[in-house]
């Protein structure tokens, strides 16, 4: 993959796609403009920060990205994380808040670039899907809770999401009727457009309609909070002027943000790449996100990433290349140059409705329920991630999500999975006796299979499990076959444990035979001197060959 993928696709661009890409890009801008303004509010930044990020994030990704449909702009979950990471550092100073947000975004871009250079694209799969889904569900729920005061026209609360929810519920009697009417009307329109006219940008409809109604009825004079002035024009480039201490504080705040943004972006990119029949480069995606965030920060924007809703809309609009993103970027830029004055009368409740609608699809209770049908343990981990965000705030919820993924990984790896095998009469294959009790076994022979990588964390557990299965075997044994076909890795501790199993077998007059030994495992055992101890005559490529060796006559039980 080249540093500039645009130099690959642009010379080969097919002119018949131009009209669809441009129209799709303009329609995409109609979705992104109100969402970007709303997400800036989630992050604690002025609306123009979201618009700046959209202009330059889209443009940078079109130059450096490998996905034809991915839309890189502010996203809901990352905006909430940005607010959670910057707020403790900025106290109540809005100017310092904006500078720190830009610093975090710039460091975020540097982290992505470094990860791309080091080819760390595999980290996209670091958090398990149930945990990530639970974390995003919790973030979406937290966002909805924080938007409720704007929707109701009441004072917002402080603290964790559940504290804010209780505070809002206690103020229901003080609901501002005009504000609520504007917000609920916008929500109803958004969901109706989604249901009956999904190709129409509902967010743009309520944005324009909300401004028109607000001016016509003079809602700001009736106590409805409005957006107010948004500076016209595009910003000049510049770096945040902060102390070294501030930069050092921004660095760790960017790590969790990077993990969530990349997981979300790569998931959307892969989904639509598969749908449209092409491949993406995860490491190039890291570099593209790095440039996009760095450019956004330099032009006074906020963090950007690949959003699922924007990408889905871009694909539905018929986008065939990154030219759609360029068209959307130009449209948002023209809006900043000439149309910001129209946003003055936009009610805050309308923006709250747009944000709630945008994150509503992230409250995917069906997916969480689906996890319960597959794995009760992973379902509980998903619920724990949701609870962590709502109860302990987004940043701590992210830490909990990562820890849950690590625990899930270690639990899987440490579990000493050893099963007894038998031969199926119809096919001659060897399968688990527990699942196929009709499978035939051989007198005096026990066939075991290790279903994990074999390393220090589970080595003793596998040994003890194997010994217990040997003890439970019906009748005396003269041979134990250990099938290592699923074992791709064996380390020093595991090789020592295998030596102990061999010594125990010799002591009890049994023959220990290894089957299905992969070449890397064989190399490790040879370096450990264990192959010569076990004997090359006791190591086979398949279970069938091992059975043939240990049985004089293959008479099944």
- pLDDT bin (cut points 50, 70, 90) of residue 556 is very low
pLDDT at 293 over 90: yes
Q: Are residues 430 and 353 in the same domain?
A: no
* Contact between 45 and 231 (Cβ < 8 Å): no
As a whole number of Å, the end-to-end CA separation of the chain is 59
Which tens digit of pLDDT belongs to each residue from 304-330?
A: 999 877 888 888 777 888 999 999 999
Distance CA 557, CA 440 (A): 6
- Answer with the residue of higher pLDDT: 414 or 207: 207
Per cent of the chain over pLDDT 90 is 50
* Contact between 344 and 37 (Cβ < 8 Å): no
Identify the DSSP state of 420. E
- pLDDT bin (cut points 50, 70, 90) of residue 534 is very high
Structure tokens at 520: 């890397």
pLDDT at 552: 56
pLDDT at 406: 78
pLDDT at 479: 94
Q: Are residues 197 and 283 in the same domain?
A: yes
How many domains, in total, are found in the chain? 2
Q: Are residues 69 and 182 in the same domain?
A: yes
Taking alpha carbons only, the member of 378, 456, 463, 372 closest to residue 416 is 463
Distance CA 315, CA 324 (A): 10
Give me the sheet containing 445-450, strands edge to edge: 430-432, 418-423, 445-450, 479-483, 511-515, 539-540
In a domain, 39, yes or no: yes
Alpha-carbon distances, residue 150 vs 44, 153, 156, 170, 319 (angstroms): 14, 5, 8, 15, 35
Backbone angles phi, psi at 226, to 5 degrees: -120, 165
Which range of 34-38, 293-297, 448-452 scores highest in mean pLDDT? It is: 293-297
* Contact between 58 and 73 (Cβ < 8 Å): yes
- Answer with the residue of higher pLDDT: 428 or 89: 428
Q: Are residues 388 and 522 in the same domain?
A: no
353-362: average pLDDT: 87
Which tens digit of pLDDT belongs to each residue from 40-70?
A: 998 999 999 999 999 999 999 999 998 988 9
Q: What's 433's domain CATH number?
A: 3.30.750.24
Which tens digit of pLDDT belongs to each residue from 417-473?
A: 899 999 998 889 999 999 999 999 999 999 999 998 888 888 999 999 999 999 999
Q: Are residues 400 and 520 in the same domain?
A: no
388-395: average pLDDT: 80
In a domain, 1, yes or no: no
In a domain, 533, yes or no: yes
Q: Are residues 368 and 431 in the same domain?
A: no
How many whole angstroms from its chain centre is CA 82?
16
* Contact between 289 and 265 (Cβ < 8 Å): yes
Answer with the one of 409, 426, 451 that is the final residue of a domain.
Answer: 409
In a domain, 40, yes or no: yes
pLDDT at 325: 93
Taking alpha carbons only, the member of 498, 545, 537 closest to residue 521 is 498
- pLDDT bin (cut points 50, 70, 90) of residue 385 is confident
- Angle (CA) 302-108-393 rounded to 5° is 75
pLDDT at 239: 86
Q: Are residues 392 and 531 in the same domain?
A: no
278-297: average pLDDT: 92
Structure tokens at 152: 């109701």
In a domain, 207, yes or no: yes
Alpha-carbon distances, residue 468 vs 419, 434, 443, 480 (angstroms): 11, 15, 18, 13
pLDDT at 4: 81
Q: What b/e readout covers 131-160, taking b as 16+ CB neighbours within 10 angstroms? A: bbbbbbbbbbbbbbbbbbbbbbbbeebeeb
How many whole angstroms from its chain centre is CA 443?
51
Residue partners of 4: CB distance under 8 A and separation at least 6: 63, 64
Distance CA 532, CA 208 (A): 80
Identify the DSSP state of 503. H
Q: Are residues 109 and 142 in the same domain?
A: yes
pLDDT at 91: 66
Q: Which domain holds residue 133?
A: 6-409
Token look-up 């990349």 returns 262
In a domain, 505, yes or no: yes
Q: Are residues 481 and 399 in the same domain?
A: no
5-24: average pLDDT: 85
Q: Are residues 396 and 447 in the same domain?
A: no
Q: Are residues 442 and 311 in the same domain?
A: no
E strand or H helix at 72: strand 72-73
Taking alpha carbons only, the member of 444, 438, 434, 439 closest to residue 551 is 444
In a domain, 557, yes or no: no
Task: Report pTM.
Answer: 0.77
Alpha-carbon distances, residue 228 vs 40, 86, 383, 403 (angstroms): 14, 24, 40, 43
Answer with the one of 409, 432, 467 that is the final residue of a domain.
Answer: 409
In a domain, 555, yes or no: no
Which tens digit of pLDDT belongs to each residue from 189-231?
A: 999 998 898 878 888 899 999 999 999 999 999 999 999 999 9
Burial degree of 371 (CB within 10 A; 0-12, 13-18, 19+): buried
Which tens digit of pLDDT belongs to each residue from 119-171?
A: 887 776 666 778 878 888 888 898 899 899 999 999 988 878 888 899 999 99
Structure tokens at 171: 């103020």
* Contact between 339 and 34 (Cβ < 8 Å): no
Per cent of the chain over pLDDT 70 is 97
Q: What b/e readout covers 8-25, taking b as 16+ CB neighbours within 10 angstroms? A: eeeeeeeeebeebbbebb
Distance CA 135, CA 384 (A): 9
Q: Are residues 384 and 479 in the same domain?
A: no
As a whole number, the mean pLDDT across the chain is 88
Answer with the one of 364, 379, 409 that is the final residue of a domain.
Answer: 409
Distance CA 182, CA 163 (A): 25
pLDDT at 124: 62
């Amino acid at each position: 993959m080249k540093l500039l993928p645009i130099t690959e696709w642009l010379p080969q661009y097919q002119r018949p796609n131009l009209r669809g890409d441009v129209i799709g890009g303009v329609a995409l801008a109609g979705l992104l403009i109100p969402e970007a303004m709303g997400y800036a509010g989630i992050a604690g930044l002025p609306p123009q920060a979201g618009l700046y990020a959209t202009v330059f994030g889209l443009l940078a990704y079109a130059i450096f990205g490998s996905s034809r449909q991915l839309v890189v702009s502010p996203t809901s979950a990352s905006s909430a994380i940005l607010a959670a990471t910057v707020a403790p550092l900025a106290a109540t100073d809005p100017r310092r808040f904006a500078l720190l947000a830009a610093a975090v975004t710039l460091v975020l871009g540097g982290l992505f670039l470094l990860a791309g250079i080091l080819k760390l694209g595999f980290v996209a799969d670091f958090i398990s899907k149930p945990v990530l889904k639970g974390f995003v569900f919790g973030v979406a729920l937290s966002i909805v809770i924080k938007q409720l005061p704007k929707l109701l026209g009441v004072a917002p609360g402080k603290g964790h999401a559940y504290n804010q929810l209780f505070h809002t519920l206690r103020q229901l009697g003080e609901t501002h009727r005009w504000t609520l009417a504007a917000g609920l009307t916008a929500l109803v329109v958004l969901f109706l457009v989604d249901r009956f006219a999904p190709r129409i940008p509902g967010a743009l409809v309520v944005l324009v309609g909300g401004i028109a109604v607000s001016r016509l009825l003079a809602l700001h004079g009736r106590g409805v909070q409005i957006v107010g002035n948004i500076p016209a024009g595009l910003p000049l480039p510049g770096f945040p002027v902060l102390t070294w201490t501030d930069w050092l504080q921004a660095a760790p705040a960017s790590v969790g943000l990077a993990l969530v943004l990349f997981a979300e972006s790569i998931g959307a990119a892969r989904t639509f790449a598969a749908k449209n029949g092409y491949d993406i480069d995860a490491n190039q995606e890291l570099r593209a996100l790095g440039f996009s965030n760095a450019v956004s920060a330099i032009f006074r924007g906020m963090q950007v990433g690949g959003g699922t809703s924007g990408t889905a809309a871009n694909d539905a609009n018929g986008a065939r290349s990154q030219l759609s993103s360029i068209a959307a970027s130009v449209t948002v830029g023209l809006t900043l140059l000439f149309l910001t004055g129209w946003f003055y009368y936009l009610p805050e409740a309308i923006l709250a409705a747009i944000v709630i609608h945008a994150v509503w699809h992230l409250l995917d209770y069906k997916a969480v329920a689906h996890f319960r049908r597959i794995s009760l343990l992973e379902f509980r981990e998903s619920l724990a991630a949701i609870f962590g965000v709502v109860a302990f705030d987004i940043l701590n919820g992210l830490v909990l999500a990562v820890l849950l993924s690590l625990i899930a990984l270690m639990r899987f790896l440490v579990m000493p999975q050893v099963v007894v095998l038998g031969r199926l009469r119809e096919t001659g294959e060897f399968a688990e006796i527990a699942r196929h009790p009709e499978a035939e076994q051989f007198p005096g022979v026990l066939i075991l299979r290790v279903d994990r990588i074999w390393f220090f964390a589970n080595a003793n557990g596998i040994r003890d499990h194997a010994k217990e299965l040997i003890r439970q075997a019906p009748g005396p044994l003269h041979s134990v076959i250990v099938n290592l076909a699923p074992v791709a890795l064996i380390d020093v501790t595991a090789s020592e444990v295998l030596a102990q199993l061999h010594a125990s077998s010799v002591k009890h007059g049994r023959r220990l035979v290894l089957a299905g030994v992969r070449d890397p495992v064989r190399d490790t055992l040879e370096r450990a001197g264990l192959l010569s101890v076990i004997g090359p005559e006791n190591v086979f490529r398949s279970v069938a060959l091992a059975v043939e060796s240990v049985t004089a006559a293959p008479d099944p039980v």
